[in-house]
């Protein structure tokens, strides 16, 4: 599975799933643009690791919740790299609380980052991909968006919205050889799940048929497949990477 000659843009790529996806694509030959919101040092470290692999890389700052900034960041990536073949909408935040305690600001932050951010980046990227008659868009969803998780009404709603967005966009751009898919991770060992109590982690592992938490590499491997040429006849699909936690 080679990505030689391909350019990828990963949002929220300074750590976790985004970081591992950026590095795995680079190891397989892609040039990679690393987007970050606030973690400049971490993002530049990822950029430097990619360059050490002999690939081109840039680190671009943008809060994807800002529609204008997100679109401009994508345009900067295309300008710097000359093309854009792969977009991974990975940026996300959580602000968990029970609905009766959830305030409007925390709702808006999560929905704007996850859902509006994916819309903004995809809109800017699709223009280039349609001109190229080639593109791969991969949205990072969540089991929270497929099954719902108490205390995550904002996050579950945003990630569920991504499923509909994925399918609608896949139908719009398929004729231009652009695929759009979604990977829905389960509980993955990242900073986002580091706050979970030992009891919660134990419950999750007990409920997971494979008997462990996932790793960012588990998710990155699935992403790489779906954005590869080997997956050229797969679009509008949702792939759960959750150890069997949520089966349909």
CB 140 within 8 A of CB 161: no
Residue entry with tokens 């009404």? 153
Look up the pTM and report it.
0.94
pLDDT at 198: 81
Taking the chain (248 residues) in runs of 10, the rounded mean pLDDT of each run is 95 96 98 96 97 98 97 97 98 94 96 98 97 98 94 97 98 98 91 74 89 94 98 98 87
What pLDDT score was predicted for residue 209?
93
Under 8 Å between Cβ of 96 and 148: no
The neighbour count for residue 226, using CB atoms within 10 Å, is 22
- What is the DSSP secondary structure assignment for residue 85, as one 8-state letter? -
Q: What is the pLDDT of residue 248?
A: 57
Closest CA to 30 of 61, 53, 63: 53
- CB-based contact 30:58 (threshold 8 Å): no
Q: Give the other-Cβ count within 10 Å of 235's Cβ.
A: 21
153 Cβ neighbours under 8 A, 6+ residues apart: 99, 102, 107
Q: What is the reported pLDDT for 37?
A: 95
Do 184 and 242 meet the contact criterion of CB atoms below 8 Å apart? yes
Give the separation between CA 35 and CA 47, rounded to whole angstroms: 10
Residues labelled catalytic: 155
């Amino acid at each position: 599975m080679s990505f030689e000659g391909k350019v990828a843009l990963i949002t929220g790529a300074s750590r976790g799933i985004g970081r591992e996806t950026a590095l795995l694509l680079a190891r397989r030959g892609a040039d990679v643009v690393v987007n970050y919101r606030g973690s400049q040092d971490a993002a530049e470290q990822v950029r430097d690791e990619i360059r050490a692999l002999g690939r081109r890389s840039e680190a671009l700052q943008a809060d994807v919740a800002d529609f204008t900034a997100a679109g401009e960041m994508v345009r900067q990536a295309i300008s710097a790299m000359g093309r854009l073949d792969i977009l991974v909408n990975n940026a996300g935040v959580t602000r968990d609380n029970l609905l009766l305690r959830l305030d409007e600001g925390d709702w808006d932050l999560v929905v704007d980052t996850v859902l509006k951010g994916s819309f903004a980046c995809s809109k800017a990227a699709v223009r280039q991909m349609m001109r190229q008659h080639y593109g791969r868009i991969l949205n990072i969803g969540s089991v929270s968006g497929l099954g719902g998780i108490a205390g995550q009404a904002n996050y579950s709603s945003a990630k569920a919205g991504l499923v509909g967005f994925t399918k609608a966009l896949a139908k719009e751009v398929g004729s231009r050889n652009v695929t759009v898919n979604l990977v829905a991770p389960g509980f993955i060992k990242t900073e986002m799940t580091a706050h979970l109590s030992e009891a919660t982690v134990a419950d999750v592992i007990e409920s997971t048929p494979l008997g462990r938490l996932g790793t960012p590499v588990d998710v990155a491997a699935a992403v790489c497949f779906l954005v590869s040429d080997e997956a050229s006849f797969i679009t509008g699909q949702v792939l759960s990477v959750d150890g069997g936690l949520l089966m349909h």
